[in-house]
Structure 1
Amino acid sequence: MFTLLVIIIVLAFVFDYINGFHDAANSIATIVSTKVLTPFQAVLWAAVFNFAAFFISKYLIGEFKIGNTIAKSVNENFITLEVIFAGLLAAITWNLITWWFGIPSSSSHTLLGGFMGAALAHAGGFSENGIDVVNYAKVIPTFLFIFFAPLLGMIIAFIITILIVHLCKRANPYKAESWFKKLQLVSSAAFSLGHGGNDAQKVMGIIGAAIIYYESTLGVQMSFNEFVVHYSWVPFCSFLAIGLGTMSGGWKIVKTMGTRITKVTPLEGVSAETAGAITLFLTEKLGIPVSTTHTITGSIIGVGATKRLSAVRWGVTVNLLWAWILTIPVSALMAALFYYIVKLFI
């Protein structure tokens, strides 16, 4: 059992690394498309702030609420190492498939879908002996924010863009663009902090669920907060892994996010990234795991809509929406299949 736990922890960090390069586009797409930074400079900038989010979550916010939500998304009666292992395999597989095709899907939702799908396969249904497999109090807000997070990002970006345009209407266009290029460094850093704080905690939650289960087999009962204290290297390594992943980049998705949804200027980049960062900080405070991909996509759409609705390439957006909707059920089905395969050997 200990060997399987070690494999799960290693796989979780692999997923975290993949999440980094899969979602690197979220925080650097606009800053690359507006030529504020070169691709290499941009991924380095984003990676530093991905990792820096660890210190904000630990010392400023003082807790890891999103990790706790993920760890408790499945009722503890139905969590086993095999369940977590199968869920991780499904999440990694779906992330690599969507990365290969350049689809900016949600790493957080594929992780959640995989975890739930494997648990449902383990229980043989949605409940057992009157106990729900899925912890709906934790999961329902996450489902709702599949739609609310991009909508919130879109509304905030729309408002910020209108305000900036109104305030700067008398400004010299050349000087204004120069200022907004500098401000993009700040807004992309803020979004990278939100990305790191949100997404690294999801892996923490999975590792936490595995370690808490393993400790329970040894007769040790441990809460998530106790896990964070006793295994302090897990949060640190989770944020480090996502930062290293971001440094690897994700150029196919950069192209989709930076140019295919709508053309983005430095002003609009600042608006989109600021709106995305505000949304991510808010949801982290509430302990709701959201998709950084969905959030920045909604923000970019909100920016594009200020010009005219036709400025947004809705065909691309509809395709993205389908990917978002399908992520959780497809991941859940894949995880269930992986669970049955794993049980043949373990």
Structure 2
Amino acid sequence: MFDLFSGLPLAVGFSLVLALALVLAFEFINGFHDTANAVATVIYTKAMPPHLAVFFSGICNFLGVLLGGVGVAYAIVHLLPIDVLLNLENGRSLAMVYSILAAAIVWNLGTWYLGIPSSSSHTLIGAILGVGVVNALLTDLPVSTGVNWGKALDIGLSLIISPLAGFVIAGLMLLALKKLFVGSKMHKTPEQRRTIDNKKHPPFWNRLILVLSAMSVSFVHGSNDGQKGIGLIMLVLIGIVPAKFILDPGATPYQIQRTYDATVHLHSLYTRNADVLDEFLALRTPPAPLAQDFRCNPRNTPSTIQAVRLSLDGIHAYNELPPAVRGQVRRYLLCLDDTARRVAGLGVLPAAEAADLQRLRRDLTATAEYAPLWVIAAVALALGVGTMVGWRRVVVTVGEKIGKQGMTYAQGMSAQITAVAAIGVANLFSLPVSTTQVLSSGVAGTMVANRSGLHNGTVRTILLAWLLTFPISMLLSAGLFSLTVMALKI
């Protein structure tokens, strides 16, 4: 990290500092929204004092980001079209990243100021869609190619299904607790606990479950939402200082060999299935040298595989390759991965071969889609500090303003356990979901199940924010990107 700025011109160094600051600002504000939701119930129910809750939440977020991998990070990144990912060094790609970040920060900050539990995931994805569509229009390409719409559909479904599941499952869990533990103290609100029992804190076992589930929400939040910032920082680093970050500089000889072997096995897999893939991949055409202005085309697959093997043959560390060759290798690997994704979508491979193809995709991109430890730590720190600064507004909304009555201990447990399960499942499939939506929906579900009633005004405000987040973030990012492209003529 310390040699990050060595040898960089002043303007490039300033651009890098600004871009990194914007990403960390986004994650800082994300802490206002999403991480504050993770500790909202445990603070409101007095299970933990705020300073301890946010401190341990920050630690759990850090561990979640550290151990969560980068699957979700690059699921977000791959909403951008493959041509942008192949050519991140150009000015237009960087303008896209700046526009995405600025739009996401403006909307997140505005909704936080109003105390509305808004979705950082929705904001970021909407901003990406906005610049993707405008980029296609500015380059005279079909809008259908401006965004990876297949990935966008998968993510959109996860963002829609997860809060609905949170609402239903949390409500059912509360009904089960009410039936199994009739008359239990877990069904009291903190106010009732103080008035009737003259005690400040929840009963011991309820308190323990509230604390553990809140920290689990923080952990899965870090392993899901925290990765979005990681993906954005890697876009910035690869775009501004590609010589240092375009491929993992810490890749071991074993990892590089696995990448090489993946291309060999990929060619074998395609050859075994040439009868159904030849027309799509031009497998029986002799490989031809790739053009200098490389574009990802499935029919160039044999040539691309051959180019990777020639580049990596005998290589033990990526710094043995000239920077230009490293850039080419990254482009080739991402192109092979994109083509493999499209092959899988054809539905013509036997189940065993399709499973092998997925494993080969992971090996292909292992050293091209990575994140240094300092990037992970910086994102985790920004999330944690954001939680400590801005938690109060969202805690009050979640604890008191969604339902007409205060939240009981059982409601807090049901909402938090449901959020852990929903986000954990999404992590398994590398799908981004909104902690805000899942937890707020879970609280609303328990309010309905408890017959507490909902504050219609608050619910309408939250729903309106969710409905407006996509179009507003799209318009903001699209407008900023258009203005930047026209102003700088890039």
Between the aligned partners of 1:64 and 1:284, the Cα distance in structure 2 is: 10
Q: State the partner residue of 1:43.
A: 54
Q: What secondary structure is seen at the aligned counterpart in 2 of 1:124?
A: helix
Q: Is the 8 A contact 1:127 1:133 kept in 2?
A: no
Q: State the partner residue of 1:203.
A: 229
Larger CA Rg, structure 1 vs 2: 2
| CA-to-aligned-CA distance 1:7-55 (integer Å, 9 cap, x gap) | 2222111211111123233112111221222222222222121112134
- Does residue 1:185 correspond to 2:211, yes or no? yes
From 285, 290, 299, the counterpart of 2:433: 290
- Does residue 1:25 correspond to 2:36, yes or no? yes
Between the aligned partners of 2:41 and 2:183, the Cα distance in structure 1 is: 25
Q: Is the 8 A contact 1:13 1:238 kept in 2?
A: yes
| Amino acid in the other structure paired with 2:45 | T
Q: Check 1:129–1:152 CA distance in 2 against 1; reply closer, same or farther (3 A cut).
A: closer
Q: State the partner residue of 1:300.
A: 443
How far has the Cα of 1:166 moved from its partner?
A: 2.3
Q: Is the 8 A contact 2:70 2:370 kept in 1?
A: no
| Amino acid in the other structure paired with 2:73 | G
Q: State the partner residue of 2:393.
A: 252
Q: State the partner residue of 2:74.
A: 68
Q: What secondary structure is seen at the aligned counterpart in 1 of 2:225?
A: helix
Q: Check 1:127–1:233 CA distance in 2 against 1; reply closer, same or farther (3 A cut).
A: farther
Between the aligned partners of 2:150 and 2:19, the Cα distance in structure 1 is: 26
Unaligned runs of 5+ in 1: 58-62
Between the aligned partners of 2:16 and 2:366, the Cα distance in structure 1 is: 19
How far has the Cα of 1:130 moved from its partner?
A: 8.0
Q: State the partner residue of 2:381.
A: 240
How far has the Cα of 1:128 moved from its partner?
A: 1.0
Matching of residues 1-346 of structure 1 within 5 Å: 2-3=12-13, 4-57=15-68, 63-78=69-84, 80-124=93-137, 128=141, 132-169=145-182, 177-214=203-240, 215=242, 218=324, 220=327, 221-222=329-330, 225-229=366-370, 231-262=372-403, 263-308=406-451, 311-343=453-485, 344-345=487-488
Between the aligned partners of 1:78 and 1:190, the Cα distance in structure 2 is: 36
Q: Which TM-score applies when normalising by structure 2? A: 0.64
| CA-to-aligned-CA distance 1:115-135 (integer Å, 9 cap, x gap) | 221232222279716861110
Q: Which runs of 4+ in 1 moved over 6 A?
A: 172-176
| CA-to-aligned-CA distance 1:206-262 (integer Å, 9 cap, x gap) | 223334445379551435632454634322322232122222233212211111012
Between the aligned partners of 1:142 and 1:199, the Cα distance in structure 2 is: 13
How far has the Cα of 1:172 moved from its partner?
A: 6.7
Q: Is the 8 A contact 1:120 1:126 kept in 2?
A: no
Aligned residues: 340
| CA-to-aligned-CA distance 1:252-291 (integer Å, 9 cap, x gap) | 1221111101221112111110101111101111111111
Identity %: 30
Q: What secondary structure is seen at the aligned counterpart in 1 of 2:366?
A: helix
Between the aligned partners of 1:230 and 1:25, the Cα distance in structure 2 is: 25
Q: Check 1:266–1:123 CA distance in 2 against 1; reply closer, same or farther (3 A cut).
A: same
Between the aligned partners of 2:424 and 2:95, the Cα distance in structure 1 is: 33
Unaligned runs of 5+ in 2: 1-10, 86-92, 187-196, 247-322, 335-364
RMSD between superposed Cα atoms in Å: 2.6
Q: Is the 8 A contact 1:109 1:328 kept in 2?
A: yes
Q: What secondary structure is seen at the aligned counterpart in 2 of 1:250?
A: helix
| Amino acid in the other structure paired with 2:210 | Q
Q: Is the 8 A contact 1:71 1:208 kept in 2?
A: no
Q: Is the 8 A contact 1:107 1:291 kept in 2?
A: yes
Between the aligned partners of 2:425 and 2:41, the Cα distance in structure 1 is: 22
| CA-to-aligned-CA distance 1:175-207 (integer Å, 9 cap, x gap) | 984421221111101111111111110111222
